[in-house]
Amino acid sequence: WLAVTHSLPFSKWYVEATSEWTLDSPPLFAWFEWLLSQAARFVDPQMLVVANLNYASDATVYFQRATVIATEGVLFLAAYLFCSRTQRRRRGQAKQANGESGAAPAIAAPGGLPLLVALVALNPGLIFVDHIHFQYNGLLLGLLMLSLEALQRDRVVLSAFLFAVLLNMKHLFAVAAPYFLVYMLRRFCLDTTPTKANAKGLKMKRVKQFLARFSLLGATVVGVCGVSLGPFVATGNLENLLQRLFPFGRGLCHAYWAPNFWALYSVADKALVRARALLPHALAPLLGAMSGDEGDVGGRGHLSGGLVGVSKFGALPQVGPPTTLVLVLLAMLPCLVKTWIKPKRSHRAEILQDVAYVNLCGFVFGYHVHEKAVLHFMIPMAFGALLTKARASEHARAAWPAYISLMPLLFGPQERLLKQLVAFSYCAALHWRSLRSSDQALPYVAALVAVHTYGTYVHEMLFGPQRLEFLPLLLYSVVSALGIMALFCRQCLDYCAYIHGHFRKASS
């Protein structure tokens, strides 16, 4: 992408296809790559030649790693602001509780800023995806957390601006947009703070306030999108850009299944296909009739070949983007309802948990989800883990399937020890800190360790390097998906329980 943005005019960025890794991020991220390329030309100009595919000089590697680390500072800035705010709040609470004017302990939570920095700096997902694969998720997640920090400080317009910038750098964060919309409408545009005006005057004042605030938010978002997309609209490249951003031809599942609902759906399809093969010929159509796919040769399904493309289910119904969109929205609906009905003061502290949940919904039911998207809900959960013991425990449980599922991204033997030390030590430290009094998660942790042991050491001994090569990845996906789905179900039930209790109390 450095080479594409540096060597070609912007009108060609979303057309050029020399490499299989075509530019598929929104324009602001493309301009970010262009900005990096201005420094890269002084380091090694050869990395900016489009035809130099797989070019990896030492200078290029050092430059990529240095820029990843430097831009990760945005995430550390968000961590500092988060801890400084919670520190002031806790100090104020301590003064009020003790009736003293002296200073309260200068920490935001047990461990405070050092602990949050460690949770970010040593995060296996960021190490695997950013520091080794040279992606910039730290920068993007930093923008997300800055937007959430602004929201928690009631800087709503600033939050909208930062989130709009984020969407125009990475559109996959759009799954959180419904939450931002509902929160800002309810807590900002429709603010019901009592005033001394009469009923008629109050109603008119609120209408004017709603229109003014909604227009301000709309102008902020439209302005950012206009700066980002305007040049491509003017040059007639908007269609090419949208085709790159939404490549639905890639299929429901990624080459390595993300550990979500569709991994379980896919393995269930494979099981049904195998079961159909064992049935008498007269009974086989009972399973085959479910597919509705006349083009699938023999109804075998093509979901475990490790290739990117439109895969076909052999027994279960085919799933397209509209279906996944509906499921994502339905899954996050309890959170959106709670956001609308819960009082403003008590809800502000739950913003991190809510955004983590809606991102989790997108991960669980989204279309063509990448495994690295676990970071979209794990990083907000890491911030929230400093607030209460319950959130710390939930974060510790989620860390095992989330980060163990990323280990196949590093498949070289020279990386084996590194990924084991990073992932297992991080998850074990969280487990010891937050879950040491409970052994309920240990059987599941043992299953994850067994899957890793089999995939790393046993499988090749049994079958060789060429036979059933996708089986270890399937096991990683399915076993990790069970943990992710358990996390989703627990949180969804909590939201539903709150809504039920709220309306039951209101009716009584």
pLDDT tens digit sequence for 350-393: 899 999 999 999 999 999 898 899 999 999 999 999 888 889 99
Instruction: Tell whether the torsion through CA atoms of 377, 382, 383 and 387 is positive or negative.
Output: positive
Tell me which of 358 and 272 has the higher pLDDT: 358
Residue 185 has what pLDDT?
Answer: 92
Contact 209, 369 (CB under 8 A): no
Scanning the structure block, which residue is given the tokens 């997309």?
229
List the single range of 118-127, 314-323, 340-349, 475-484 with lowest mean pLDDT: 340-349
Q: Each residue of 92-104: pLDDT tens digit?
A: 666 666 665 444 4
Q: Each residue of 50-83: pLDDT tens digit?
A: 777 777 788 888 888 899 999 999 999 999 999 8
| pLDDT band (50, 70, 90) for residue 247 | confident
| pLDDT band (50, 70, 90) for residue 291 | very low
Contact 173, 147 (CB under 8 A): no
d(CA 137, CA 122): 14
Q: What is the mean pLDDT of residues 328-354?
A: 86
| pLDDT band (50, 70, 90) for residue 293 | very low
Q: Above 90 in pLDDT, residue 7?
A: no
Q: Each residue of 342-361: pLDDT tens digit?
A: 866 656 678 999 999 999 99
Q: What is the mean pLDDT of residues 461-486?
A: 90
* Residue type, position 182, single letter: V
Tokens of 180: 């931002």
User: How many degrees, rounded to 5, is the angle at CA 200 between CA 198 and CA 201?
Assistant: 65
Q: What is the mean pLDDT of residues 467-495?
A: 93
DSSP3 helix / strand / coil % (the chain, rounded to 5)? 70, 0, 30
Q: Above 50 in pLDDT, residue 110?
A: no
| pLDDT band (50, 70, 90) for residue 181 | very high
Share of the chain above pLDDT 90, in %: 43
Residue 195 has what pLDDT?
Answer: 55
Backbone torsions φ then ψ of 253, nearest 5 degrees: -110, 145
Beta partners for residue 253, in sequence order: 369
Tell me which of 171 and 313 has the higher pLDDT: 171
Contact 155, 146 (CB under 8 A): no
Residue 19 has what pLDDT?
Answer: 74
* Residue type, position 3, single letter: A
d(CA 371, CA 403): 10
